[in-house]
Amino acid sequence: MKLALIVNAHSRSGQKGFSEASAALARMGVNLVLAEAVRRPDRIPGTIDRALTAGATRLIVGGGDGTISSSSRQVGEAGAEMAMLPLGTANSFARTINLPLDIEGACRTAVEGEARAIDLGRLGDHYFTNAAAIGLPAEIGRTVPDGLKRVFGRFAYLFWALYKLMRFRGFTCTVDTGARRRAYRVVEVRIANGRFLGGLEAVPHADPADHALVVQMVRGTTNRQLVKAWAELAIGHAPNIGEVEEIRGRSFHLHTDPPQPVSIDGEVLARTPTEVSIAPAALKLVFPKGG
């Protein structure tokens, strides 16, 4: 097995994380075919190509959820394995697979862990490991200040949500599975491959290896209802069955009135209407040994 280390050094703690991961891997006696801290995220695909050309069979990719998602398709299509180095604010997908969040533990998993096939979500031309969200969370992901994330970590999303809620109103989302078409009045829509959003367990029934996505509608019309839904998640309460509805499936067409931004693992990359589907067993991801 030949390993490479590629870190998004533009992400939170990226440069420090790269240095610490390089040192940890050296202590483990790992000889990397490529090790690079990439300051410009748009250069990560080219760096992955160079690692593959150098013979890497397992790529350790460091960054936040957006970096992991944006790299997943390229690594998967190359037939290589991906190991995650969680350096973001929420690290939601790392939490889904019970990956150690400390650098030493994540590096040990990258070296000693076992690769398993997982599904990827697909929204338009974009692939994702963890989740997409429609509505206010997309706006939060686009605008949350970096300084707030540095100070408060994953709770920055909750604080910024409270600020953005002042002008928020619910919207109508129509979900078409091909077999059924139904409209919902909602304050948020979550499209989940993993269980966590913003570092909080929001969709506990999502499984990245069951060949299905979960579309979760958070019912409501007012900002108070959205605050309540996220506050309950923040204190560890499971979603209330009376306040959410879930649809599990392989593909969906989603239409909203009015049109809404769509975030893919924290990056606003689309708007409704949109198509979403599952790409089964599209990536070999490294899990903690025995986990």
Question: Maximum Cα–Cα distance for the chain, whole Å?
Answer: 56
Q: What is the mean pLDDT of residues 127-141?
A: 86
State the Cα–Cα distance between residues 291 and 98, nearest whole angstrom.
Answer: 7
* Least reliable range by pLDDT among 1-10, 33-42, 152-161, 199-208: 152-161
* Distance between start and end Cα atoms, the chain: 21
**Domain 3-119+283-287: CATH class, spelled out:** alpha beta
Which segment of 24-28, 48-52, 152-156 scores lowest on mean pLDDT? 152-156
Q: Residue 152 in 3-state DSSP?
A: helix
For 188-243, what is each residue's pLDDT tens digit?
Answer: 999 999 999 888 899 999 999 999 999 999 999 887 887 788 788 888 777 666 68
Domain ranges of the chain: 3-119+283-287, 126-280
Q: Give the predicted TM-score (pTM) of the model.
A: 0.89
d(CA 192, CA 128): 10
CA–CA distance, 199 with 92 (Å, rounded to integer)? 5
Q: Give me the CATH topology for the region 126-280.
A: Tumour Suppressor Smad4 (2.60.200)
Of the candidates 157, 197, 161, the residue with the CA atom closest to the CA atom of residue 12: 157
DSSP three-state, residue 110: helix
Helix pair angle (65-78, 44-53), 10° resolution: 40
Q: Which of 12-26, 34-48, 112-126 has the lowest mean pLDDT?
A: 12-26
pLDDT at position 162 is 76
Question: Residue 241 burial by CB count (10 A; 0-12/13-18/19+): exposed, middle or buried?
Answer: exposed
Q: 132 pLDDT band (50/70/90 cuts)? A: very high
Q: Are 129 and 284 in contact (CB under 8 A)?
A: no
**E strand intervals along 9-124:** 32-38, 58-63, 81-86, 114-123
Nearest in space to 141 (alpha carbons), one of 124, 157, 123: 157
pLDDT recorded at residue 147: 85
Which residue did the predictor score with more confidence, 162 or 95?
95
Over the chain, what is the mean pLDDT? 92
Is pLDDT larger for residue 104 or for residue 241? 104
Q: For residue 166, with 0-12 CB atoms within 10 Å meaning exposed, 13-18 middle and 19 or more buried, which class applies?
A: exposed
